[in-house]
């Protein structure tokens, strides 16, 4: 009874706070903090997830298991209520990882600007492009042009559509001429635009595959399709306005709450609550209709234009939390008929990643490993596009810096991503029947 009463109270209070301070464009994160808690039991973990849902907490490390830390960002006006909420569930021993998020953003942007000024003159080819720094949309577009020109015999660049604000979305395709059928792997990055490490990692990975003889077998063994920068509108926003913007930019600037969560907008188990939210101000808003977002609709149409099951694997790339998640993601205890094969491949990827720098990537069904998310890319690629090996990666870190991962971790993270994908390629190749 008591917990029901507390839940009701929490819901009412958070709705009140949500209306006053919904997820809107934020120019400054002054006074925002990142807190760390370690739930010690399943019960505490579930209560934390519940608090997260009603208070619309922005987790930087998702709550996974009892004994594992979770981190989340706290608005200045949320502190007192959250402190009380955490005390109520016995988590009063939280730590403050970051005392001022804006201070870190300002410091990182200054360092990135200085570094980019110094390295700009060397960014002239795929091999001399600076992979140790984050690049704004214009430079990612330039990189795609360079790849298409320098490797024009094996590479094609397709425009799959435009974003809400009219920016082109491109896919790069690497194919070898072959008389035999070959496996095909599809990857995307940056559906959540603040997750800068995702684009930085796929750029690094493909540079290695194109220019490092150690990884040329990856190009020889399978065909690759990838979209390095999906939510370009949002990415522009993170460079010029709100660094931690997550959603698309649909609805236009006059709407009170802009954008939809692209990873809740796919036409697979769409709008099932609590895996998404009907509230346009929520960071997990599922949109007015399934595939309402240009970015999602164009990508879905592109994948489907090849036919069901055309691809052997699909990886959608996110950060942060160091996870590999596979279907089903929309509902707890929903087990797919390919569960064993998915777990087998996920374990191989996690092992391969650990072997690089010792980083631990937890893997499992999305709904049980973190919490249910409906309308996700991964459930759609599995359920609708019939791509058995469908996984979502959550790259570094485990919540320390979250989406503000320092640039000196780009290359080590990229090396891990590369080895994880190489393991997937090996698995797909071994199990390929043509």
Task: Give the Cα separation of 254 and 235 in Å (integer).
Answer: 19
Q: Is residue 142 reached through a cis peptide bond, with omega within 30 degrees of 0 on the bond before it?
A: no
The DSSP code sequence of 74-98 is: E-GGGHHHHHHHHHHTT----EEEE
Q: Give the full edge-to-edge strand order of the sheet including 95-98.
A: 58-61, 70-74, 33-37, 95-98
Strand-strand pairing, 223-227 and 95-98: unpaired
Task: Give the Cα separation of 364 and 399 in Å (integer).
Answer: 19
Task: Give the Cα separation of 382 and 427 in Å (integer).
Answer: 17
CB-wise, 167 or 247, nearer to Zn ion?
247
Binding mask 304-333 for Zn ion (x = CB under 5 A): --------------x---------------
21-80: contacts with Zn ion (CB under 5 A):
none
Tokens read off for 363: 């893997």
* Active-site choice (394, 400, 416, 419): 394
CB-wise, 222 or 349, nearer to Zn ion?
349
Phi, psi (deg, nearest 5) at residue 157 = -115, 120
Q: Is 394 a catalytic residue?
A: yes
Return the H-helix or E-strand segment holding 212. none
Per-residue exposure over 379-402, b if at least 16 CB sit within 10 Å of its own CB, e if not = bbbbbebebbbbbbbbbbbbbbbb
The DSSP code sequence of 283-312 is: TTB--SSTT-SHHHHHHHHHHHTT-TT--S
CB-wise, 294 or 316, nearer to Zn ion?
316
CB-wise, 72 or 427, nearer to Zn ion?
72
CB-wise, 294 or 319, nearer to Zn ion?
319
Closest by CA to 191, choosing from 224, 156, 225, 226, is 226
Q: Give the full edge-to-edge strand order of the sheet including 223-227.
A: 155-162, 168-174, 223-227, 184-189, 313-319, 389-395, 323-326, 362-365
| Cβ-based neighbours of 1, under 8 Å, separated by 6 or more | none
Q: Does 249 bind Zn ion (CB under 5 A)?
A: no
Minimum Å gap between C-beta 300 and Zn ion is 18
Q: Does 192 bind Zn ion (CB under 5 A)?
A: yes
Minimum Å gap between C-beta 4 and Zn ion is 32
Q: How many residues sit in the footprint of Zn ion (CB under 5 A)?
A: 2
Q: Does 422 bind Zn ion (CB under 5 A)?
A: no
In the block, residue with structure tokens 């698995």: 427
Closest by CA to 329, choosing from 289, 361, 295, 374, is 374
Minimum Å gap between C-beta 263 and Zn ion is 6
Closest by CA to 375, choosing from 330, 312, 434, 406, is 330
Minimum Å gap between C-beta 195 and Zn ion is 5
- Name the one range near Zn ion by CB under 5 A: 10-18, 71-79, 189-197, 253-261: 189-197
Q: Provide the binding-site residues for Zn ion, judged by CB under 5 A.
A: 192, 318
């Amino acid at each position: 009874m008591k917990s029901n009463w507390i839940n009701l109270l929490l819901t009412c209070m958070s709705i009140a706070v949500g209306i006053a301070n919904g997820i809107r464009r934020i120019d400054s994160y002054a006074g925002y903090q990142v807190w760390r808690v370690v739930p010690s039991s399943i019960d505490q973990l579930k209560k934390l997830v519940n608090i997260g849902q009603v208070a619309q907490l922005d987790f930087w490390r998702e709550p996974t298991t009892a004994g594992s830390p979770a981190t989340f960002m706290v608005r200045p006006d949320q502190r007192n209520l959250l402190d009380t909420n955490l005390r109520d569930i016995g988590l009063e021993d939280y730590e403050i990882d970051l005392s001022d998020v804006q201070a870190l953003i300002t410091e990182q942007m200054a360092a990135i600007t200085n570094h980019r000024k110094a390295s700009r003159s060397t960014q002239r080819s795929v091999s001399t492009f600076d992979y140790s720094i984050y690049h704004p949309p214009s430079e990612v577009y330039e990189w795609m042009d360079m790849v298409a020109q320098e490797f024009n015999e094996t590479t094609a660049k397709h425009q799959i559509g435009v974003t809400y604000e009219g920016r082109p979305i491109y896919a790069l395709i690497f194919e070898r001429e072959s008389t035999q059928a070959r496996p095909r792997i599809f990857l995307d990055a940056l559906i959540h635009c603040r997750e800068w490490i995702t684009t930085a990692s796929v750029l690094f990975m493909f540079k290695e595959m194109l220019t490092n003889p150690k990884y040329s077998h990856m190009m020889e063994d399978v065909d690759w399709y990838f979209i390095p920068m999906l939510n370009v509108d949002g990415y522009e926003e993170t460079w010029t306005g709100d660094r931690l913007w997550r959603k698309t930019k649909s609805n236009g600037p006059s709407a009170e709450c802009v954008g939809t969560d692209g990873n809740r907008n796919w036409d697979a188990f769409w709008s099932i609550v609590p895996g998404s939210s009907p509230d346009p101000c929520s960071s997990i808003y599922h949109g007015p209709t399934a595939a309402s977002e240009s970015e999602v609709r164009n990508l879905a149409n592109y994948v489907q234009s090849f036919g069901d099951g055309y691809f052997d694997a699909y990886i959608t790339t996110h950060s942060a939390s160091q996870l590999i998640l596979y279907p089903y993601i929309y509902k707890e205890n929903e087990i797919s008929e390919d569960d064993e094969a998915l777990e087998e491949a996920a374990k191989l990827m996690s092992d391969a990643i650990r072997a690089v720098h010792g980083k631990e990537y937890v893997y499992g069904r999305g709904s049980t490993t973190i919490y249910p998310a409906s309308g996700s890319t991964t459930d759609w690629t599995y359920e609708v596009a019939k791509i058995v090996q469908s996984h979502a990666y959550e790259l570094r870190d485990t919540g320390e810096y979250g989406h503000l991962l320092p640039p000196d971790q780009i290359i080590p993270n990229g090396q891990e991503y590369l080895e994880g994908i190489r393991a997937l390629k090996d698995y797909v190749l071994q199990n390929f029947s043509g």
